[in-house]
Structure 1
């Protein structure tokens, strides 16, 4: 039996979206630009980017299975959570992990990686 893997928005380094059967994997999403703003601003931007990629893959935030959230500073946990909790549909909270991490550049305060289902 052959399983189908579809890669969307592929670069030499990564795919922004990978679909395998009815599962969607998004690469880590971060805010753009050197003046990306505080963690609240960045979280809003990141979750907006997640919405766009999920739609492109044929999914949406109500179908998220897992989320991995990386914070540059764990003291931003409460502020990030305020944005997150207003974004996640009621009754559709995914399994989630949040950790403090050194992100790819100093201005990045939050990165989110998502796994969702299509159906």
Structure 2
């Protein structure tokens, strides 16, 4: 099975698809906003990436969430629960870290399943 890379650069690809799984990472574009707005940006970008890969958020398998401030967890959880369709929450890990851009409050790595037409 071939590896498909979406918009590859010398450092990353927007998404990598292998064996029916889509792997991708999203970061906020506007870091001058609060946690809720950064999370919503990531979700909008994730939906666009999933659509480009012929999938959607109901097909998420896992998410690894990196946050810089543990006090932001309630905001993250509120946005997360509002964004996901009922009964479609993926496996999830959330880690407190220091991100390379100090203005970024959150970064999320996703894994989703492709939609397949049989």
**Would you say same fold, with TM above 0.5?**
yes
Using the size of structure 1 for normalisation, the TM-score is 0.93
Question: What corresponds to 2:96 in structure 1?
Answer: 100
Question: What corresponds to 1:112 in structure 2?
Answer: 108
Deviation at 1:33, TM superposition (A): 3.4
1:15 counterpart SS class? coil
List gaps (5 residues or longer) in structure 2: none
1:14 aligns with 2:12: yes
Q: Indicate the RMSD between aligned Cα atoms, in angstroms.
A: 0.9
Using the size of structure 2 for normalisation, the TM-score is 0.94
Deviation at 1:74, TM superposition (A): 1.1
CA distance in 2, matches of 1:46, 1:97: 16
CA distance in 1, matches of 2:51, 2:30: 23
CA distance in 1, matches of 2:62, 2:82: 17
- Of 19, 29, 34, the match for 1:32: 29
Give the direction of change, closer, same or farther, for the CA distance of 1:23–1:34 in structure 2 (3 Å limit).
closer
Deviation at 1:21, TM superposition (A): 2.4
Q: Report the number of matched residues.
A: 115
Dislocated runs of 4+, deviation >2 Å: none
CA distance in 1, matches of 2:78, 2:31: 24
Give the direction of change, closer, same or farther, for the CA distance of 1:56–1:23 in structure 2 (3 Å limit).
same
Question: What corresponds to 1:45 in structure 2?
Answer: 41
